[in-house]
Structure 1
Amino acid sequence: MAEFYYQIKGRMPGKEGSYSEWAWPPVFSGIVEAEGRKEAKAKIEEDYGRQFPMRVLRKDMDEHEYLLHIRELAPGDVYLRRRFLDTACKECGTPFKLIDKYNDPYADHRGPDYCSERCASAGKKRELLDFNLAAEGRLPAVIYQVRQKATGKVYIGQTIQAFTLRWWQHLTTPSDCKFHEALKSSPITDWEFSVIEVVEYPPECKNKLAYLTDRERFWIETFNSVANGFNTTLPAKISPQEPLDLEAAF
């Protein structure tokens, strides 16, 4: 059975002496499963208790309040399917569906990254602050964990970026590693992100990246997150007092 993406557009009266137009954004958008477009249309009309035209001549627009548009949703259509998936707000972490914001006429923010205008504003300020801190070398390195609530298993990582940005990257640009496969297999509400160490480099440290990797290794071993978690490998043990071999470190 195929999936069909549909939009119901409302009529917007034209100015004096001009034709009406179909308003944007649509009144409602959704997905319906059906054997074909005809069955999809019938299901939508049954749900709404009314019939919808799928084509209206401009001269006849004043006779119709709504217009129905239907298209078959391809399995690989990531752009449209993303609208129906839970997304974590980049600022507060609250899960939301983009399609719910599109369908809510009172939504104050319709972008894909934040749940509300308040979070969008705060996020932009935070990104500017993080950018300034990073440019000045004042953004602290951290070790973080991502824990799956259902199993208690964790993934341990390190970052010198804003840690909220690192969590966002895991969610939006997944690879085929076992951690990202697990992320994709359960709802976002099943996961929690936390910082477990803000790394402070000792005065005698000659190689900060080696020291950071050593702290990551410590926590991976502490949680046993390779054998009983979502880390794929254990970072090589490197002395912070020696030059770093990047290939050995990662």
Structure 2
Amino acid sequence: MPKFYVYITDRLHDSGILGFGHERVFSEIYDAESKDEVKKLVLEDFDYMPKVREKMTAKVPETERFITSIHELNDYWHNIWLTTHMCKECRNQYTKLEKSKFRTGGSTEFCSAECQKQFNMRFEVASVDSYNSATVYMITHRPTGKRYIGVTTRWIMQRWWEHIKAKSGSPFHQLVLASSITDFTFEILEVFKPSEHDPYAREAFYISKYNAVELGLNSVSGHMQE
């Protein structure tokens, strides 16, 4: 059965992009035999819409707030919307359709704008080679003994503060938010020049050494440079 990509825009909300456009309020993929069948399915899901208006024209009455776009998916667009990606920060899997449906934001390398922000805070946009030193650190949750290993080229206490304020949804940050700051210890494992050692490789070494994925709070065995 053919698949159709559907998105609905709200005429009353400006997207803010270059001063024009409308806010996209819904995205979904429907299995249907034709566009007419898709229109019926959309109206079932959005019974407050008087009809499915596919094109934005001067003839659209002001009372019709929502505009619906319907596109049959070929192989190319099927891959665009439904291919599974892995977030560069939290390593959770997502599709472009899910990002569109839930409007999580962020570039295509991240599942959300929050994850992209956290990743950039760790290493910013610049190459780690532009910094004088890198630090591998370990945060231990006292009540459970579970460890989190990280690496940063930023001021180390600033990195700790970023963890305290983060809302990425990762198991580690959820535990931080649910705990007292006194429940954690913060240790420096190694300091080195990024020009002499790969920070990501050193982080991965200590994550493996302390088995911080299976027995700790790391989600993955280290960040890969891509």
Structure showing greater relative contact order (alpha-carbon pairs closer than 8 Å, 6 or more residues apart): 2
TM-score (norm: length of structure 1):
0.45
Greater CA radius of gyration, 1 or 2?
A: 1
TM-score (norm: length of structure 2):
0.49
Q: Which has the higher strand share?
A: 2
Q: Which has the higher helix share?
A: 1
